[in-house]
Structure 1
């Protein structure tokens, strides 16, 4: 499910600064990058139905290469999905309201931090 109600798509950031902002909000990017793309994941566990969800924010390099600190990257539209073992992430389904609410809160906080970083 794409999260299009927020002003993410097309915003550009220094990769090093973006990593710090994402990590301070609980997102990780472990091995989900190559020299042109990166995916930051926030993992949500729902113990009531033993489900795992991922809120994802992706970016693409516009100057330089990922993971260099000085690379410039452009954000894409965030989205979230449910993980199904062993098949992977499914993005097109009905999500529990509590998961949507948690993702919305996380995106709102992230957007606030990104806006603050733009003014620095």
Structure 2
């Protein structure tokens, strides 16, 4: 599922500051990068249903190099996906998401937008 019109897409930020903001909000980049692209994931677990969802924010370097930590990242449209063991995460439009997961995702994206506005 795509979260359109969040104000995050096309926003630009320095990689090091972006990493800090994302970490503060519980997004993990870990090894999900190459020299031109980054991916941040926020894991949302629904314990009673034993389901796992991922809110994903991706970006690409418009300046510099991610490996050298001197990049400026332009963010893409955030995605929400459901994890299916052992196959992976599905981001398809046909997926159904619990209201609590959608609300949590929207809250995180609102906080992210606020933080991005401070560093822009």
- Please give the range of the TM-score, normalised by the shorter of the 2 chains: over 0.9
Deviations 1:7-53 (A, max 9, x none): 11111111111101111111110111111111000000101210010
Displaced runs of 4 or more, over 6 A? none
Aligned to 1:109: 111
Offset, 1:68: 2.9
TM-score of the aligned structures, taking structure 1 as reference length = 0.94
Secondary structure in 2 matching 1:77: coil
* Count of residues in correspondence between the two structures: 118
The CA distance in 2 between the partners of 1:65 and 1:85, in whole Å, is: 34
1:11 and 2:15 correspond = no
Q: Partner of 1:46 in structure 2? A: 46
- What CA RMSD, in Å, does the superposition of the two structures yield over aligned residues? 0.9
Would you say the 8 A contact 1:62–1:74 is kept in 2? yes
- Asked if 2 retains the 8 angstrom alpha-carbon contact of 1:59 and 1:76, the reply is yes
1:64 alignment partner in structure 2: 64
| Secondary structure of residue in 2 paired with 1:61 | strand
How far 1:69 sits from its partner (Å)? Answer: 2.7
SS for the counterpart of 1:106 is helix
Hey, what does 1:21 align to over in structure 2?
21
TM-score by length of 2: 0.94
Q: Which 5+ residue runs of structure 1 have no aligned equivalent?
A: none
Which of 92, 95, 98 pairs up with 1:96? 98
- State the 1:5 CA deviation: 2.9
Gaps of 5+ in 2: none
